[in-house]
Amino acid sequence: MNKLNSMNMTTVSPSKKFMYDIQIILDELKLFSNSINNITIYDVIISSGHSLIYEDYSTQINPDDIIWFENEGKVYFVNKVLSFLNVNTATEFQSIVNLYDQLLTILKLQC
């Protein structure tokens, strides 16, 4: 859904299904909190099992989801991870950013 922001520019909002999937990934990431420097987003996705598999092929990631994730989604993702993970070093923070970058790459391939 598109909205106007305070600068009268159109912004996009992610779909509910997309946000549900992001939450699955975030919930799964909590299980890896002790090894944040040693994982990839692929580890997290594989660990989630079938939860992210679309059984209905008509359900796909739409371009607005990707646009949102590229722009506002980075701050959303990083802040959500920081809400449950105690980050003490720049390396740990960079690991979170790397996970976001990896996820964005995967999502772009699906769109």
What b/e readout covers 83-102, taking b as 16+ CB neighbours within 10 angstroms?
eebeeeeeeebebbeebbeb
List of the chain residues with pLDDT < 70: 1-10, 51-59
pLDDT on residue 28: 93
What whole-number distance in Å separates Cα of residue 3 and Cα of residue 9?
8
Q: Are 94 and 45 in contact (CB under 8 A)?
A: no
Average pLDDT score, the chain: 85
Beta bridge partners of 12: 2
Note the pTM of the prediction, 2 decimals. 0.84
Q: Are 25 and 44 in contact (CB under 8 A)?
A: yes
